[in-house]
Amino acid sequence: MEKNVIIDTGPIVALLIARDQHHKWALGEWAQIKPPFLSCEAVLSEAQHIIRRLGGDPLVVLEFVHRGIFQISFQAAPEIDALLKLERTYADVPMSLADACLVRMSELAPRCRVMTTDSDFLNYRRNRRQLIPVICPPSFRQ
CA 53, CA 49: separation in Å to the nearest integer?
6
Q: What is the pLDDT of residues 109-138, one digit of tens each?
A: 989 999 999 999 999 999 999 999 999 998
Kindly list the domain boundaries of the chain, sorted by start residue.
9-141
Q: How many percent of the chain have pLDDT more than 70?
A: 96
Residues making up the chain, counted from first to last: 142
Distance between CA atoms of residues 104 and 82, nearest Å = 7
Candidates 3.90.226.10, 3.40.50.300, 3.40.50.960, 3.40.50.1010; CATH matching 9-141: 3.40.50.1010
Distance CA 91, CA 71 (A): 28
If phi over 0 gives left and psi between -120 and 50 gives alpha, with beta otherwise, what is residue 40? beta
Q: pLDDT by residue (tens digit) across 39-52?
A: 999 999 999 999 99
Distances (CA, A) of 85 to 12, 32, 95, 127: 27, 34, 11, 11
What was the pLDDT predicted at 139?
Answer: 83
Helix (H, G, I), strand (E, B) or coil at 73: coil
Q: Residues with Cβ < 8 Å from 117, sequence gap 6 or more?
A: 8, 10, 11, 13, 14, 22, 26, 136, 137, 140
